[in-house]
């Protein structure tokens, strides 16, 4: 006769059985997956509405579903979001979130308060292999791709924390990682996000992954495109953005000239100004010629300094920044100077690094590769 062995409480709780997550799935996909577990077809639509549009975190919240249906769904599916391991508030109202993922990896995301709305900066990878010399994330090295659930989860958590509506947020994929090196998962996340946030209020920023730009251009519901440019010629861009060797500036600009822009849309060029490196009058003129003919606007971003990870790099002084901007405007270009928020808590552009990140964590989990075709 088998003996019953009493479980020692010191062993901790019993392991939770593996359950499939519904986070990161579109409404259509959620309906398909839960249909066999509900008693009527419209119940599946109710579940999708609660998850995608009402940001539900448990099936118990779905009070218009019968209790037995909620219990059954809770036994089979999870609605878990990334855990907030740390939250840091900036003096300017920005909030930096350190998210811990299921495998122990961490990423940082930022919510920035704007007039009448908030901008949520999302991460797409746990590190970045692109290696831009002015970016802390890039200097610290590569990590793994985030899943659609992990990207959508950042949005869900920040939306709840800010106690705001989806109609009052802008989303920017400008956090940790190169979004277009994670193009398939990014596309799946965008499919979910655009159910509640207009594509006109979502921006994907890339260092210039040409196949990824083409991939993005083939999406039915395209977000806005931003390109981290930072140099007006191939030689200088190679020095500060090594990815330029793989995707030369000439190819990048050709892909942008053919990118399908809806009426009224423009490509955003981001240009980090670094003292004595890319901020001369001659370079401003060269930049004007480079982007000429592309419907665009240029965001000039004074370098966010980090003496530990970015030694020897300092931002251009205010007079140089203004002169550079005016030089571009004289060529009839639309130019803004974007002063970063959250600098006091290392939440500004190029400062995100996550917890326990160092050069020793760099990995070869993935390498830059052509994004798959949508055809």
Catalytic pick among 121, 132, 135, 349: 349
Strand runs (DSSP E) across 44-116, as ranges?
77-78, 83-89, 95-100, 106-114
Looking up tokens 């401003």 gives 284
Q: How far apart are CA 262 and CA 348, in angstroms?
A: 30
Catalytic pick among 31, 108, 178, 270: 108
Contact of 96 with 90, CB cutoff 8 Å: yes
Write the CB contacts of 9 (distance below 8 Å, at least 6 apart in sequence).
none
Which one, of 349, 373, 341, lies nearest residue 138 by Cα? 349
Contact of 134 with 350, CB cutoff 8 Å: yes
Secondary structure (DSSP) of 172-226 = EE-SSS-GGGSHHHHHHHHHHHTTTS-GGGEEEEES--HHHHHHHHT-SS--EEE
Q: Alpha-carbon dihedral of residues 176, 178, 179, 180, nearest 10 degrees?
A: 180
- Active-site residue, 128 included: no
Provide the sign of the torsion angle of the four alpha carbons 213, 218, 219, 224, taken in this order.
positive
- Active-site residue, 108 included: yes
**Three-state DSSP class for 112?**
strand
Q: What is the DSSP letter of 42?
A: H
Write the CB contacts of 244 (distance below 8 Å, at least 6 apart in sequence).
208, 234, 237, 238, 252
Tokens of 239: 């020095």
Tokens of 277: 């490196």
Q: How far apart are CA 208 and CA 226, in angstroms?
A: 9
Q: Which residues are catalytic?
A: 108, 349
């Amino acid at each position: 006769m088998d003996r019953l062995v009493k479980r020692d409480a010191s062993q901790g709780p019993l392991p939770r059985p593996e359950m499939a997550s519904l986070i990161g799935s579109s409404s259509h996909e959620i309906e398909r997956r839960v249909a066999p577990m509900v008693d009527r077809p419209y119940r599946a639509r109710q579940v999708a509405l609660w998850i995608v549009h009402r940001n539900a975190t448990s099936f118990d919240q779905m009070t218009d579903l019968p209790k037995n249906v909620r219990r059954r769904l809770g036994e089979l599916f999870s609605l878990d979001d990334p855990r907030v391991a740390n939250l840091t508030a900036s003096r300017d109202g920005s909030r930096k979130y350190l998210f811990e993922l299921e495998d122990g990896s961490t990423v940082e995301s930022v919510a920035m308060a704007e007039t009448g709305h908030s901008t949520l900066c999302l991460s797409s990878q746990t590190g970045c292999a692109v290696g831009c010399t002015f970016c802390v994330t890039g200097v610290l090295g590569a990590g793994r791709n985030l899943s659609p659930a992990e990207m959508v989860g950042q949005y869900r958590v920040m939306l709840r924390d800010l106690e705001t509506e989806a109609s009052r947020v802008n989303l920017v994929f400008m956090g940790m990682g190169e979004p277009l090196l994670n193009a398939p998962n990014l596309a799946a996340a965008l499919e979910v996000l655009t159910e509640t946030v207009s594509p006109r209020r979502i921006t994907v920023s890339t260092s210039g992954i040409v196949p990824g730009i083409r991939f993005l251009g083939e999406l039915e519901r395209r977000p806005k495109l931003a390109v981290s440019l930072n140099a007006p010629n191939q030689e200088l861009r190679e020095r500060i953005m090594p990815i330029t060797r793989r995707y030369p500036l000439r190819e990048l600009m050709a892909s942008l000239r053919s990118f399908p822009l809806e009426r009224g849309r423009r490509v955003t060029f981001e240009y980090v100004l670094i003292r004595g490196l890319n901020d001369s009058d001659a370079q401003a003129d060269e930049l004007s010629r480079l982007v000429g003919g592309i419907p665009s606007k240029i965001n000039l971003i004074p370098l966010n300094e980090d003496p530990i990870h970015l030694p020897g790099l300092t931002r251009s002084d205010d007079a140089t920044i203004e002169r550079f901007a005016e030089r571009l405007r004289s060529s009839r270009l639309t130019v803004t100077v974007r002063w970063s928020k959250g600098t006091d808590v290392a939440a500004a552009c190029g400062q995100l690094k996550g917890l326990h990140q160092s050069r020793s964590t760099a990995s070869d989990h993935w390498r830059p590769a052509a994004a798959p075709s949508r055809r």
